[in-house]
Amino acid sequence: MEKGKISVIVPVYNGAAWLETCVDSILVQSRRDLEVLIVDERSTDGTDRAAKRLEQRDKRVRYAVCGKKGVSAARNQGIGEARGEFLTFVDADDRIEKRLLELLAKGLEETGADLAACDFLTWNGKEQSPSGPAGTDLSEDGLKLYGREGWLSDCLLHGVTRCWGILYRKAFVGDTRFREDLSIGEDMMFLMDLLPKLDRAARLSYPGYFYRVNQNGAMLRPFTPSYMDEIRSWRLAAEMIEREYPGNRARVNGILAVSAMLAAGKLSALSGRERSRYGDCVKECRDTVRKALQTPGARAQLPGGYRLKTALFLMSPALYMGLYHLWKKG
């Protein structure tokens, strides 16, 4: 481990078109003591050539081919090979603002926190600058500290469920790794698995991570059975929270019910014939919603509109999905 160095892990699969933009945004960071670990998930589009050019151009770049399949395996390999005192993840189709690593490291070093998170902006990959809500800029402000339960209740259960946009102490991560049996929700479960050993977390309101809205991303693709991992990951989280942090039972079960409704929405987008092939998935969605909402207070945690949606879905999944299908196609 090299004191002060930041290891930036970039997992990539068929990212030749955008890898250079991503890595360049890392190499121009104001915090210069860093390494970039490009971990290739056996791409077939020339990503290897792009990565090797970057490696030749800057000695801080290292390229490796992942021994297993999937983004979790690539991130795990990167953690194992990282030499820095700190580590972070940047997806290959995203980029970061030039002071981000400096500010996150400052947040860790000045507070003694185990991890420091930032906010993010969405980016279409074409505009020079990502766009955010009205009035959003890249000003440096708003660092807040959390203990373990505060990080869970105020952050993990309120949307901070991505592994990127966070700088971690490598010693804190230790032997914790991403669950390679999940294709969706693996970020959230990585953070949940870190939670028992967390003493302090820092969060900056600074939106220095630029998340590319990718139509080929897992959350935007048509339904496949792997999409059910969204439910399974939140079910795992709910079991852990109910056991260790029972004060958050209602909140996590409300989220679990919403995750099942999102899966049902994906299923609804299919044709009736396609949908009939996934009857077991429809049943799992319904059973998950029913059980989650039996938790006292969970229904009150549902966002606007979901109380009606869940009621209709529980009454008649076929009717709900048929109406949803017509609405989406209309």
Question: Which residue in the block uniquely carries the two structure tokens 């708003």?
Answer: 142
Helix (H) or strand (E) run with residue 135 in it: none
Residues 6+ apart with CB under 8 A from 192: 156, 236, 237, 240
The residue type at 190: F
How large is the angle between the packed helices 229-244 and 186-194, nearest 10 degrees?
20
User: Distance of CA 170 to CAs 35, 82, 279, Å?
Assistant: 14, 8, 43
Helix (H) or strand (E) run with residue 150 in it: helix 148-154
Class of the 2-212 domain? Answer: alpha beta
Kindly list the domain boundaries of the chain, sorted by start residue: 2-212, 225-329
Select from 46, 1, 42 the least CA-distant residue to 20.
Answer: 46
d(CA 154, CA 156): 7
d(CA 61, CA 65): 14
The residue type at 56: Q
Which pLDDT does position 216 carry in this prediction? Answer: 57
Q: How far is CA 213 from the centre of its chain?
A: 13
Q: What is the DSSP letter of 204?
A: E
Measure the CA angle with vertex 250, ends 245 and 253; round to 5°: 95
Which pLDDT does position 139 carry in this prediction? Answer: 46
Helix (H) or strand (E) run with residue 272 in it: helix 272-276
Question: Which residue in the block uniquely carries the two structure tokens 């670990």?
Answer: 37
Here the tokens at position 255 are 């989220």
Tens-binned pLDDT, residue by residue, of the chain (330 aa): 889 999 999 999 999 999 999 999 999 999 999 999 999 999 999 999 999 999 999 999 999 999 888 999 999 999 999 999 999 999 999 999 999 999 999 999 999 999 999 999 987 776 555 444 333 344 455 799 999 999 999 999 999 999 999 999 999 999 999 999 999 999 999 999 999 999 999 999 999 999 998 655 554 567 889 999 999 999 999 999 999 999 999 999 999 999 999 999 999 988 888 888 999 999 999 999 999 999 999 999 999 899 999 999 999 999 999 998 888 776
Helix (H) or strand (E) run with residue 84 in it: strand 84-89
